[in-house]
Amino acid sequence: MTTNTIENSTGIDIAGAITEAEAARTRLDLAKSAPKVFRAIVGFDAAAREGLDPALVELIQIRASLLNQCAYCLHMHTNDARKAGETEDRLHLVAVWREARHFFTEREQAALALTEAVTLVADGGVPDEAYAQAAAHFDDSELAHVLALIMTINTWNRVALATGKVAGTDERR
């Protein structure tokens, strides 16, 4: 478990709060309770990432996690994005990327728009415009991987939310 050992500006002991929240969690651990299912999701995720720029992967995962309000995944992927060289400015602006387009390439904007459409698919499907914009910036193989990545992060968000994962813990380590 990775924790932040500093206090925030309100004087809250973040490490202690994370430890307490994790101890209070009473939901099942999918990896232990259904290991074949968990390994299948891990394999799907690994296959989806193949050939994609790691920074783009993290932007997609951050945007979907924001939309799904998954603090566990958002914390994990913003940290991963920093490790991949992402800037704080861009991380802070992913939530409002349409108003800050100049921080993102056209290719990234297309991926973010597609991420929104697929993540919010129940709100009206995936609009032809969002799909066409992405198809203009990614070849068929890349587009398939981007779509698969969007599907996997949406799955991970649902796993984390359904099983009560606590932001600030990263069980991959």
Give the single-character DSSP code of 7: B
Q: pLDDT (tens digit, 9 = 90+) per residue, 25-60?
A: 667 999 999 999 999 999 999 999 999 999 999 999
**What does the pLDDT look like over 71-114, one tens digit per residue?**
999 999 999 999 999 999 999 999 999 999 999 999 999 999 99
Cβ neighbors of 105 (< 8 A, separation 6 or more) are none
Task: Inform me whether the pLDDT recorded for 1 exceeds 90.
Answer: no
pLDDT confidence tier of residue 133, bands split at 50, 70 and 90: very high
Radius of gyration of the chain from Cα atoms? 17
The pair of structure tokens assigned to 69 is 């309000």
Report the chain's mean pLDDT, rounded to a whole number. 90
| Distance, CA of 107 to CA of 95 (rounded, Å) | 17
> Residue 7 pairs with which residues in a beta bridge?
13
pTM: 0.85
Supply the pLDDT for residue 2: 44
Q: Which is nearest to 153 in space by CA: 53, 46, 52, 50?
A: 46
What pLDDT is stored for residue 3 in this prediction? 42
Average pLDDT of span 2-16:
58
At 107, the amino acid letter reads R
